[in-house]
């Protein structure tokens, strides 16, 4: 079964840049699009990146997504960190049957 692995937690200071990785267990992560979701406590997930590197309207350009085929990983970068960015972040892609697969989530602390 295809799996996505994320670090359990990351932390960084306000104003800095943080990168969250999402590594595919097999095949090529570049073969299927990756989405990234932000979830604040008590709220539903919201999309911050879709189709590897596209930002929905309303998402600031401090958020960016990329794919690194050499490491079979996707990454979410957040620059100019703000305290409001503190949340859980989930990556999501698809398996060979086009079924959704989620990473385990990364807790971002902005301290």
Partner 1 sequence: QVQMVESGGGLVKPGGSLRLSCAASGFTFSDYYMIWIRQAPGKGLEWVSHISSSGTTKYYADSVKGRFTISRDNAKKSLYLQMNGLRVEDTAVYYCARKPGYWGQGTLVTVSS
Q: How far is the CB of 72 from partner 1 (least distance, A)?
A: 21
* Residue ranges binding partner 1 (CB under 8 A): 33, 35, 37, 44-47, 50-51, 56, 90, 92, 97-105
Task: Considering the complex, state which of residue 85 and residue 89 has its C-beta at the smaller distance from partner 1.
Answer: 89
Contacts of 4 (CB under 8 A, 6+ apart): 22, 23, 24, 25, 91, 92, 93, 101, 102, 103, 104
CB nearer partner 1, residue 8 or residue 13: 8
Residues 78 and 65 sit within 8 Å (Cβ to Cβ)? no
| Strand duo 106-110 + 9-12: pairing | parallel
Smallest distance, Å, CB 45 to partner 1? Answer: 6
Of 5 and 14, nearer to partner 1 (C-beta) is 5
């Amino acid at each position: 079964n295809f799996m996505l692995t994320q670090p359990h937690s990351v932390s960084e200071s306000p104003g800095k840049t943080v990168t969250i990785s999402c590594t595919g267990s097999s095949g090529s992560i570049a073969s299927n699009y990756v989405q990234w979701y932000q979830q604040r406590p008590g709220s539903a997930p919201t999309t911050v990146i879709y189709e590897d590197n596209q930002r929905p309207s309303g998402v600031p350009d401090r958020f960016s997504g990329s794919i690194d085929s050499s490491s079979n990983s996707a990454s979410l970068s957040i620059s100019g960190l703000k305290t409001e960015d503190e949340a859980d972040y989930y990556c999501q892609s698809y398996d060979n049957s086009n079924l959704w697969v989620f990473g385990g989530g990364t807790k971002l602390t902005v301290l």
